[in-house]
């Protein structure tokens, strides 16, 4: 019994120190030909090739993926990572965008950022 309790304590303690990648800010800007540019800020302490922000994505209000941005390798020594994605399209009927980031070690699950889209043609958030 004591052995099981020790294992549970270790696993619970490890999960408290797991660091998910949090989207702390996101903006979009209208680009050419009906496409958009997204700018995001992600909070995560990239450590090495086993623990870094590996991607971020944009979902619609129904959590259907719109686009994904892969990140290649850690940005060691940075807590705030800025990234952008050029040339994606927002499907007709989309009312909000959900931004989320993935850590190579801990996966998704960090803080998401929701951007409500204005009604009409101008969807720029900047």
For residues 95-121, give the mean pLDDT.
93
Number of domains in the chain: 1
Looking at the domain assignment, is residue 2 inside a domain?
Answer: no
Please state whether 69 falls in left (phi above 0), alpha (psi between -120 and 50) or beta: beta
Looking at the domain assignment, is residue 29 inside a domain?
Answer: yes
pTM of the model: 0.82
pLDDT tens by residue, 51-86: 999 999 999 999 999 999 999 888 877 889 999 999
Q: Mention every residue, 6+ apart, whose C-beta is less than 8 A from residue 6.
A: none
Looking at the domain assignment, is residue 123 inside a domain?
Answer: no
Looking at the domain assignment, is residue 72 inside a domain?
Answer: yes
- Partnered with residue 56 across adjacent β-strands are 69, 101
Looking at the domain assignment, is residue 52 inside a domain?
Answer: yes
CATH number of 93's domain: 2.60.40.10
The closest of 58, 51, 63, 49 to 85, measured between CA atoms, is 58
pLDDT category at 92 given cuts 50, 70, 90 is very high
Looking at the domain assignment, is residue 43 inside a domain?
Answer: yes
What domain range is 72 assigned to?
A: 20-116
pLDDT category at 96 given cuts 50, 70, 90 is very high
CA distance 8 to 70: 34
Looking at the domain assignment, is residue 83 inside a domain?
Answer: yes
């Amino acid at each position: 019994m004591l052995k099981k309790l020790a294992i549970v304590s270790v696993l619970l303690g490890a999960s408290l120190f797991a660091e998910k990648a949090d989207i702390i800010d996101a903006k979009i800007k209208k680009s050419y030909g009906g496409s958009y540019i997204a700018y995001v800020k992600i909070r995560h302490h990239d450590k090495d090739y086993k623990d870094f922000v590996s991607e971020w994505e944009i979902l619609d209000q129904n959590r259907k993926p719109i686009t994904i941005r892969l990140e290649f390798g850690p940005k060691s020594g940075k807590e705030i990572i800025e990234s952008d994605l050029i040339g994606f399209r927002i499907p007709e009927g989309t009312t909000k965008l959900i931004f989320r980031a993935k850590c190579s070690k801990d996966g998704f699950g960090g803080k998401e950022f929701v951007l409500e889209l204005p009604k009409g043609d101008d969807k720029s958030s900047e």
